[in-house]
Amino acid sequence: MRTHRFSIIPLCLLALAAAGCASGGKSVGKLTCPTAFIAPHLDRYVVLRQGAASAANPNDIAFGVKLADVRSNCRHEPSGVRVTTLLTFVVARNDPSLQHGDFTYFVAVADGQENVLAKQNFALRVNFAARQKEVRVSEEITEHLPVKDVSVVGTYGVVVGLQISQEQLDLNRKRS
C-alpha cells in the first residue's frame, strides 16, 4: 500500500469566508467526517488487446481496473482536520503476456455546494506475477483541511474515480 498526501490550503485560502477555512486558531464545533464516494461511471477502466474491436467481448480485454471500495476517516489537528481515504482497486489481466498495467485515478475534495476545492491525480502501476490474473491494490490518501470550525467538514465530500477518456466514460455509461 502506498500513502500519498495533498493539501487544499491554496484553494481554501481563496474560499476562506465561504468554506470556513482558517490558517490557525482554535477549532470550534463537533467534528463530523466528510463522506467519501466513487464518482458515477468513473469506477472502471479497460484496455483492449492489440487489434481488438470492442470491450463487449471479454476476450478482447487485455487489462481492466475496478475501483472496488473507498472509505475515509478523519481526526482533528491543531490547524484543522486530517482526512485519510483508503481506496481499494481490483486489477485483472486477460492477456498472460501483459506484465504490468498502468492507470491514473484522482481524489478531490468538494464543499457542500459541490465546488471542487482541490483535486489531485495519482498514477499507479500494477505488476503481475507470471501466472497471476488478479491483484488487489490499496492506496491511502491523506488530505489536510485547514478549517476553523470542524463541524463544516461534514458538509465536504471526498470524491474519487479513475481518470478516463470520454470514450471510456461513454463505454462505462452503456454498461450501467
In 3D space, the residue among 122, 34, 126 whose CA is nearest the CA of residue 84 turns out to be 34
Enumerate the domain spans of the chain: 2-175
For residue 42, what pLDDT is reported?
97
In 3D space, the residue among 141, 157, 74 whose CA is nearest the CA of residue 105 turns out to be 141
For residue 133, what pLDDT is reported?
94
Q: Is the pTM of this model over 0.75?
A: yes
- Enumerate residues 6+ apart whose C-beta is below 8 A from 36: 70, 71, 72, 85, 157, 158, 159, 160
Q: One digit per residue, pLDDT tens: the chain, 176 residues?
A: 666 665 543 333 333 323 333 333 344 568 889 999 999 999 999 988 887 777 777 788 889 999 999 999 999 998 899 999 999 999 999 988 889 999 999 999 998 888 998 999 999 999 999 999 999 999 999 999 888 888 888 999 999 999 999 989 998 898 87
